[in-house]
Amino acid sequence: ILNWIERDLRKISDAARRIGHGELNVALNLKRQDEIGQLGQSFMTMQHQLGTDALTGVSNRRGFAARLHQRMRPGPAGAVAGFAILLIDLDHFKQVNDAMGHPAGDAVLIEVAERIRACFGAQDTVARLGGDEFAVIIDGSSTTAELEARLQAVEAAVVQASHRVDPEALVATGF
C-alpha cells in the first residue's frame, strides 16, 4: 500500500514541478477517490486555470505561449508540423469601455471570443492575449486561400458579434 501511495504522491510532485516551470499540459492520470486523488484533481484544475482567460474561457497569453512552444517542437521525423498564427486586434475597443463601462466591454469580449472560437476546430487554439487582442494557432498545413477564407469568416463573425451585443442594454440592466 505504501508503494502505491508513494508512487501517486511522486506523480503529483512531478506534476507540480512541471507546472511550476510553465508546462501547462501535464497529464496526471490518477484514478483515486481519496485525498490523494482530490489533490491530483486540484492540480489539474490549477493547470487549466493557469492557461485559461478567466473572462472569456479561451486560452490566455500563458496558455497560448505553451501551445505555441509545443507546436514548434519537432515531431518524430524531426520536422515541425505545419501551422499558422492569426492575430486579431479589435479596433476602437477602448471607446466601448469608456462610453459604456467595463461590464459592457466584458460582454463584447466574451461574445467576440465565442465567435472566434466557433470559426475554428478543437485542434486549433484560440487565445486572448490581453485587453482586446486575440490570437489563433491554426493546426495543419493550410493553403493561402484556405487561410484567407478563415480570416474572412473571423472578420464576419466579429462584425456580427459587435451587432449582437447591445452595450446600452447591458448598462441599463446593471450587468
* Burial (0-12, 13-18, 19+ Cβ within 10 Å), 17: exposed
What is the distance between the alpha carbons of residues 23 and 158, in angstroms, rounded to a whole number? 31
What is the distance between the alpha carbons of residues 58 and 51, in angstroms, rounded to a whole number? 9
132 in active site = yes
Annotated catalytic residue within 8, 124, 132, 139: 132
Q: What is the mean pLDDT of residues 86-110?
A: 88
Whole-prediction pTM: 0.75
What is the distance between the alpha carbons of residues 24 and 49, in angstroms, rounded to a whole number? 10
DSSP annotation of 52 reads B
**Are the C-beta atoms of residues 174 and 108 closer than 8 Å to each other?**
no
Supply the mean pLDDT for the chain: 83
Quick one: pLDDT band at residue 167, thresholds 50, 70, 90?
A: very low
